[in-house]
Amino acid sequence: MNWNQAKGNWKQFKGKVKEQWGEITDDEIDIIAGRRDQLLGTIQKNYGITAEEAERQIKEFEKRD
């Protein structure tokens, strides 16, 4: 996955993000708006995990697409 592409087509990608991390709210999805660092922080906060674990999850997510 290319994050520049994700940012440009965020409406298409946000469903995939919501599917992967269901605890992220629609408002948070709008705030993330394709920014990887925002996604990382939101995952970390919502799931109570370390930055390293959130990073690992994002990398796995990137490999899928």
Give the residue, 1 or 64, on which the prediction is more confident: 64
Average pLDDT, the chain: 91
Dihedrals φ, ψ of 33, to 5°?
Answer: 45, 40
pLDDT for 2 beyond 80: no
pLDDT tens per residue across span 7-24: 778 888 899 999 999 999
pLDDT of res. 3 = 76
Helix/strand/coil (H/E/C) assignment for every residue in 3-38: HHHHHHCHHHHHHHHHHHCCCCCHHHHHHHCCCHHH
Residue 65: pLDDT band by 50, 70, 90 thresholds? low
Q: Give the domains, in start order, of the chain with CATH numbers.
A: 3-64 (1.10.1470.10)
Q: CA triplet 28, 56, 47: central angle to 5 degrees?
A: 40
CA-based R_g, the chain, Å: 11
Residue 43: pLDDT band by 50, 70, 90 thresholds? very high
Report the candidate in 61, 64, 65, 25 with the shortest Cα–Cα distance to residue 45.
25
